[in-house]
Structure 1
């Protein structure tokens, strides 16, 4: 049995996949299963993958799972959770690059202090030129609602991306932590699930991944994404936010999660109003759907009376669509 499964989705990444795959195969850590999920792209990415596997000494440790047709990046993550054979699971994208000691660093941290997941720091590479180190503080927390307290109450920075984290696979499966199959930006909902169920986690300040961000990518440019898919994704996020409002309701972390929800709704609403690829009717319908959430005005006033930013976000949400549209023109 492998100690770690490293999962990578393959979909139209021909210019980048060789760099990404070799960075995975050349890890110093030995016990790794490489699980590649073919999401049925239209370029020659898989030809490049098979050529590398054929010639690489660790090719025998590579397993390819083929989707019947293109589903989405969320589905590739779920396929990995369902099929991984390692004790721990690591996600990476097929256009990024991990450091040679990435898995060793995260695994050592996990063994030193067993937790639900360990997150590494990263170097962000913007348009293949500018680089920014995103360094996490060395942190370990344990206890009920450890991660949600860290995020919502303490308002500490938490990288919501699925990748660059080593997860206890049993923890993910027991709590049914998964993505929405068809989502392009699957991190939002996955992180909501994660924050509720995590009882222990660790961060390391060591940089373990180079994240290549390109403004021309599909997820980096919302105007390239199918309009219907955008609307469905945003509505799915709202549904999940509402579900956890009910789940947190009797918990001490509830007021802090409520504040978080209001700020997220403000961001979603403001962004949606400004989308160029959706019609006015689609925008209005989405904005109107936000009023279905279980947010009581008295709760907001009770818990947020000293939180000016959250109160301002809530006031914005209370405006009808026409006023929101006017406000959005000036920002």
Structure 2
């Protein structure tokens, strides 16, 4: 155990030398931040000899249970995702810090990007993450429905938006394994369930009416897994769902309309201002949606009527 500027530090000796050195590098980074802020540390107490002793391999043999929570939190928040997952496997205390960090959304995902894919050999529930920096693949097991059978319609804040074989939407975080079921597809305007003789949903009926014009007076019929091909276009999140408060916006057919849901909602709410939307961007509770014609519409999703105004109108 060491005391530097009023902070207690202990370095745990790992079996993995590479991970141990990465942890030391992060600790050096955190200490350097302390040393430049007079409010955090008394520079006169930050002796070079004491600093070098801290990283002497012969002294790094304390137990993980003694590591200070606040220091670990700072270190974990600066780790690359693979190292963060490794740290969460060291002991129960570190696992608790890892889980708390992920649930609060305090970890930093803005490092080297990872390629997400599925593999038949890895299993239907497995998510494969390929690290461009390490040239290495990490395999994580996710909750049902199997990821391999889902379609992906967007990603935000480390979460991916998927549609399963029943055309139901979920958002899932591949790193934490957390998953949230979004409101049912049958609560979207123009979608009605079709029931079998046993009372189970066996298909969907979708109207061609967009609220602006009618493309067909005859509804289209889709099997459970087929609707997602036609209905969904893109999914957007306003913020990290780990924090508990968020909006999710869906661009969907007919004619690329907008529907949204708040955290905890059990149905989708149609935004009836228009259609032909191509992309969306959030600024807090304000949604900015652009159309294929160059229009930009603003929606305040925090008001009862979802107040709307045209930022850029049609030419």
The question of a shared fold, defined as TM-score above 0.5 by the shorter chain, is answered with no
Q: Which has the higher contact order (CA 8 A, sep 6+)?
A: 1
Normalised by the length of structure 1, the TM-score is 0.25
Structure with the larger strand share: 2
* TM-score, length-scaled by structure 2: 0.26
Q: Which has the higher helix share?
A: 1
Greater Rg by CA:
2
